[in-house]
Amino acid sequence: MEPVIATLGLTKRYRGGQLAVDGLDLVVPRGSVFGFLGPNGSGKTTTIRMLMGLIEPTSGTARVLGEAMPGAGRRVLPRVGALIEGPALYGFLSGRDNLVRFDAADPTADPRTRAARVEGALDRVGLAGAAGKKARAYSLGMKQRLGLASALLRPRELLVLDEPTNGLDPQGMREIRSLVRQLASDGTTVFLSSHLLDEIEQVCTHAAVMAQGRLLTQGTVADLASSVRGRLAVTTPDTADAVRVLKEHGVIDLVVTDDRVTGELPAAGPPDLADVNAALVRADVRVRAFGTQRASLEDAFVALTGEGFDVAG
Ligand SMILES: Nc1ncnc2c1ncn2[C@@H]1O[C@H](COP(=O)(O)OP(=O)(O)OP(=O)(O)O)[C@@H](O)[C@H]1O
Ligand SMILES: [Mg+2]
């Protein structure tokens, strides 16, 4: 089955000389919720703008829904719902009337069913109550919801959402996450960018990690997280003895916090955890808890880049 998005060597150098996207090979499988993850300035929006035919790549190719972009835009874009950085809204119109305008701009949209589409979209993003308010009086999160509603006016094969939870409060973020899951279960492929690792982990089946315009890795979220081994953690009042025993078994990078010792298992010839546990007991280390912590996407990111990641946004 052909991927929904496939790029080959996709590259963008802006006129000022900034290399924003550098040789990107991206594969987004049909039916996935695909997280496009990267810190500020890593090239996410630039990539999305190339995928949607809003800017020309400097080199490389992009295929969306099986066709080459930007060339096939007129055929492809009606099948795609997009929300890209700061949707263009008319401040003097109500949220509802903004959607009516969006819908009216779509030549394939039947005017007789317009009102129902608009109310349905308002409802899905939780804006029904504020639909009569002028858009200029909307908060950032409400504007973001309205932009999302415009992408949801019609059923689409692909939704491309650039930082869809930007500006939303935690409750709003949860609502968007559940909306994304719901859309995915209806069979829509969702491609969403984010700089929030935990958000990607909660909602995405697949992810790609960008840094400085380059793709570091892509795959299923489960594979990405399991590509880094979790740390071994021992909870014990006898931390000093625990550290000694763990060291003897080759555990490295030991960290003691209160009644907990954590450490990294060596990549080459890791010890059998059962042996480590037995050795702790033999050394009279009183063990309250013992096990490996599951690695998160954040651990994977740090392992890939050697840097931290702004998790809180
Ligand atoms: N129109 C432009 N002209 C010149 N440089 C640009 C332009 N747009 C973006 N850039 C630069 O390209 C790089 C990538 O920017 P981009 O907006 O794609 O990043 P991003 O991953 O979307 O970041 P954020 O998380 O902040 O939205 C940055 O260094 C940015 O300064
Ligand atoms: Mg961006």
- Residues less than 5 Å from ion ligand 2, measured at CB: 44-45
Ligand nearest the Cα of residue 40 is 1
Contact of 302 with 309, CB cutoff 8 Å: yes
Residue found under tokens 């066709």: 67
Residue 158 CA, ligand 2 centroid: distance in Å: 19
Strands 214-220, 67-69: pairing is: unpaired
Ligand nearest the Cα of residue 210 is 1
Contact of 68 with 42, CB cutoff 8 Å: no
Domain spans in the chain, listed from the N-terminal domain onward: 5-226, 232-294
Residue nearest to atom 2 of ligand 1 (CA): 14
Determine whether the shortest distance from the Cβ of 42 to ligand 1 is under 6 A: yes
pLDDT of amino acid 129: 94
The CATH-assigned architecture of domain 232-294 is 2-Layer Sandwich (3.30)
Residue 18 CA, ligand 1 centroid: distance in Å: 9
Contacts of 222 (CB under 8 A, 6+ apart): none
pLDDT of amino acid 176: 86
pLDDT of amino acid 306: 64
Structure tokens of 119?
Answer: 């109310």
Contact of 30 with 189, CB cutoff 8 Å: yes
Contacts of 59 (CB under 8 A, 6+ apart): 9, 10, 11
Residue 16 CA, ligand 1 centroid: distance in Å: 12
The CATH class that applies to domain 5-226 reads alpha beta
Ligand nearest the Cα of residue 55 is 1
Contact of 264 with 252, CB cutoff 8 Å: yes
d(CA 240, CA 43): 46
pLDDT of amino acid 113: 96
pLDDT of amino acid 116: 96
Predicted confidence pLDDT, tens digits, the chain (313 residues): 899 999 999 999 999 999 999 999 999 999 999 999 988 889 999 999 999 999 999 999 999 999 999 999 989 998 999 998 766 889 999 999 999 999 998 888 899 999 999 999 999 999 999 999 999 999 888 888 899 899 899 889 999 999 988 878 888 888 888 889 988 998 999 999 988 778 888 899 999 999 899 998 899 988 887 666 668 999 999 999 999 999 999 998 899 999 999 998 877 777 888 999 999 999 999 999 998 876 666 766 777 766 655 432 2
d(CA 311, CA 313): 5
Specify the DSSP element, H or E, that contains 36. strand 33-37
3 state DSSP class of 75: helix
How many beta carbons lie within 10 A of that of residue 282, not counting itself? Answer: 9
